[in-house]
Chains A and B, each alone.
Chain A
């Protein structure tokens, strides 16, 4: 069901310390209905702590969380929360605990049962509704847990590493569900290490590093900004090492090599006003061009550039 009312969830200057150690140093970001925000960061960066503060599991030492300008209280709103550490009652049947979680979220008995059946069916686990949780496979437990997250038809969905433990088929089902949630106008906050998933759903990202937001905003804008003035190049007659060496030695008056992807070198033109000049020089140096084009960084490239070293992924948008 499409949510009529647009909402905006905002974190303002959120600080958190544990035993005197500051783990969040002023987190700021916002997310709106019908959009998904990807919360990214290395292990221990502060993603889960941020999510737990949103969910009121931890209390912030400073700062505030607002929903449409008012203090946000998860227990007073319909919020679906999928924690990083999955947990349900192993000895209770799937239906018993689904309805219990729904009723704790304020649904009446009839609606709780209806919604439980609806989401179990949507996630393709209806056949297990009378089974005890500990008799299900890990993947099915994960799907039931997601169904329990959504059983209250939440306005705000907070998913901490939702794809961990899912096989490709189940991942596809989950992707479809998340797309539907976004299309239905819900706020989706999504933490993951798998950049490809974040790129698929999230219009906005916030990268957390050592308790601080080091980058946030619209993903397309960030990609454009990161690729601005940068080109990629590969050659048919030279390896990447040879091409990089050639560029550094013979073309340094025209370009500055900044790095490489798996198949291309990345460089910045020193004179952006005459892009054809570089092509002439490449021909002169007898470099047979394989790829030449604008560099559009992947989210992984951006992430690595922001938070540290990691294996590089190839950017997209190459010119053949």
Chain B
């Protein structure tokens, strides 16, 4: 245990003394804080402000050419949608000509009170001139109808805009609100496994490549070496993610009112979901970290590592897509099976807990299977690591490494 602790401390120091690790962590934290605080800062409001907003209607276009033979749309009505220069035209050709020569940003030819043609020279992404004009036409039509039928337009509008209040009471789980943070956390654990798994595999392969491993295995056991590396990797992740989450949540709690609570759907994660994510996410990481460690030991050159680690990468990808495709059916048979397999329970069981119905005994059994498999995988990986210690040259095939588990080199 003492030597495991020494390996763990040394490997942790490799992470925490790494400039790239520390700079990237701090950079992500700063980006998270800035991106959440920026809207409030730009609008010149303090984070504790009242959050009231005076909304201006967008102008349809700065300059608009209109052909309205029946005079359905008044200038006043157009100006109620924002300031715009209005050019009244007598024919459709004049409107087209004005738009083509770029004397008008948009052109409208009104056929009747419910039909018009819209002309624009270059349509930009997100342009909504026609939608605004349709709204304007609708208002004009309603006004005309009220006038023709002797109705009070304002009362009619008030009645039309009366809000219906619904008090929603979800007695189970609300997949609509849980979906987004579940989705983000599944992606997060996927990236963590891929990124840190490769870092652990690289570290193992490096020690073999620079021949340090021959000294290390004479000083301590391969189990201490591999467990030390993997636990240090887990510590580095928890530190990095913890710091990033703390920055995000801290910045969001200060800016929540400015943002109108728009990130609640992502960041307002219930504590029980976070705890199960931590338990299953950590177990999932550990099982794959040992797998990557063993695969790193099969090569003696870093350039061979991608080929060797491909097995784990492929497995992680398959599980990732299977879980994502099954997210809409958290209580389906596929998700149920995946939630008990140690290589997939880290995301499948988490999704079931967040979005589906799952009994406590199922969670406990899945967690026991996962952590028992982590320990089993750790010892198998350590044995592969030990057997591969002084095998240089071509990468060792995984099948041969598995056959070698019974041998005593």
Give residues in A with beta carbon < 8 Å to B: 52, 55-59, 74-75, 79, 81, 83, 85-90, 96, 100-101, 103-106, 148
Contact = CB atoms under 8 A, between A and B. Distances in A.
A104 B3 contact: yes
B52 interface: no
Of the candidates A56, A79, A106, the one having the most CB atoms from chain B within 10 angstroms of its own CB is A106
B272 to A, nearest CB: 41
A87 B218 contact: no
B216 interface: yes
- Name which of A79, A83, A85, A87 has the most chain B CB atoms within 10 A of its CB: A87
B214 A104 contact: no
Given A87-B214, A104-B7, A58 B221 contact: no
B220 A57 contact: no
Nearest to B392: A85
B221 A100 contact: no
A84 to B, nearest CB: 9
Given A75-B219, A104-B216, A89 B408 contact: no
Contact of B211 (A59, A79, A83, A96): A83
B152 interface: no
Interface string B1-37: 0110011001001000000000000000000000000
Interface of B: 2-3, 6-7, 10, 13, 207, 210-221, 389-390, 408-409
Given A52-B390, A74-B218, A75-B220, 20 more contacts: A55-B218, A56-B218, A58-B390, A75-B219, A81-B215, A81-B218, A83-B211, A85-B211, A85-B214, A87-B211, A87-B214, A88-B210, A88-B215, A96-B13, A100-B6, A101-B215, A103-B6, A104-B219, A104-B220, A105-B219
Given A59-B409, A103-B6, A104-B6, A83 B214 contact: yes
Sorted nearest first, the 10 A-B pairs with minimum C-beta distance are A87-B211, A104-B219, A87-B212, A83-B214, A85-B211, A55-B218, A103-B6, A59-B408, A81-B218, A100-B10
A52 B409 CA distance: 11
A85 B218 CA distance: 14
Contacts of A85: 211, 214
A75 B220 CA distance: 6
13 contacts: A57-B214, A57-B389, A74-B218, A75-B220, A75-B221, A83-B215, A85-B211, A87-B212, A87-B214, A87-B215, A88-B210, A96-B13, A104-B3
Contacts of A74: 218
Contact of B210 (A81, A90, A100): A90
A86 B13 CA distance: 23
